[in-house]
Amino acid sequence: MIVCPNCSHPNPEGATQCEACYTPLPSTTACPHCGATVQTDATFCGQCGSNLQPSTGTNGGEIEATIPTVVSPPPNQPLPEPEPLPVASSGLNLEKSPVPVVAPVATETTPPVVTVAIPEPPPIPMNLASQSSATQLQRETAKLIHIQTSTDIELPQNVSVIHLGKPNDLVPPDVDVSGFPNSDIVSRTHADIRTEGDAYYIEDVGSSNGTYINNTALLKGNRHRLKPGDRISLGKGDLVSFIFQLSRD
């Protein structure tokens, strides 16, 4: 077995290259004394300890060390001065040669960037903004006109759901119709008017006698977008009716 000197990986006999790191493996031979496998450049056998180098002299296996002859350097001698380089006889006088003048390179200049100031629009006076807001609120004001008594009922603002009906403990009405004639045909929780932006929608919430828009029954689960002039009847017979209006003043 040959052990790789680079990664210590054991390799089979006769391998010339390590199987793990591909490092070239040293060549081997057999010990002449015990037959163990040793490297060709080994000095002693790792198995029996025999000297594997050829012996010189008569001391039986001792190897005489060859002492190299030390050659003393010669005494310090002055180094010869280098000969001066021959100057070409061109008749040129370097000291008096005029230095060539390099013409300046013209560089492109970037034109200046002209910044144009955009005038800002004048601020809107606060009084105009408040007037515009007030006008918008006036346009969104809606009301119901009771046909039988000509009573105006202004719908509450900033409320998303407006309940129409009569007093009860479950859903108190925002528009109470109990004081109008024939209100007994109106359910306690009769209909809802929902506001979405500037739009108004009415829907029946399960009344006993139904809700009618312009004399057409509004089925439960459906809703109708109200327009100015629409006729709303709570219950049958058109006994409790209202006209939907938007206030423009």
Q: What is the pLDDT of residue 118?
A: 77
Q: What is the pLDDT of residue 4?
A: 80
Q: What is the pLDDT of residue 103?
A: 64
Cα 86 versus chain centre, distance: 74
CA distances to 7, 11, 26, 45, 240 from 1, in Å: 14, 6, 12, 14, 114
Q: What is the pLDDT of residue 154?
A: 93
DSSP three-state, residue 84: coil
Q: What is the pLDDT of residue 65?
A: 47
CB-count exposure of residue 80 (10 Å: 0-12, 13-18, 19+): exposed
* pLDDT 10s digits, 2-35: 778 778 778 777 777 787 887 777 777 777 778 7
Q: What is the pLDDT of residue 17?
A: 78
Q: Does domain 138-246 have CATH number 2.60.200.20?
A: yes
Which residue ranges does the chain devote to CATH 2.60.200.20? 138-246
| Rounded Cα–Cα distance for residues 238 and 185 (Å) | 10
Q: What is the pLDDT of residue 24?
A: 79
Residues in the chain with pLDDT values less than 50: 57-65, 90-91, 134, 137
| Rounded Cα–Cα distance for residues 229 and 125 (Å) | 37
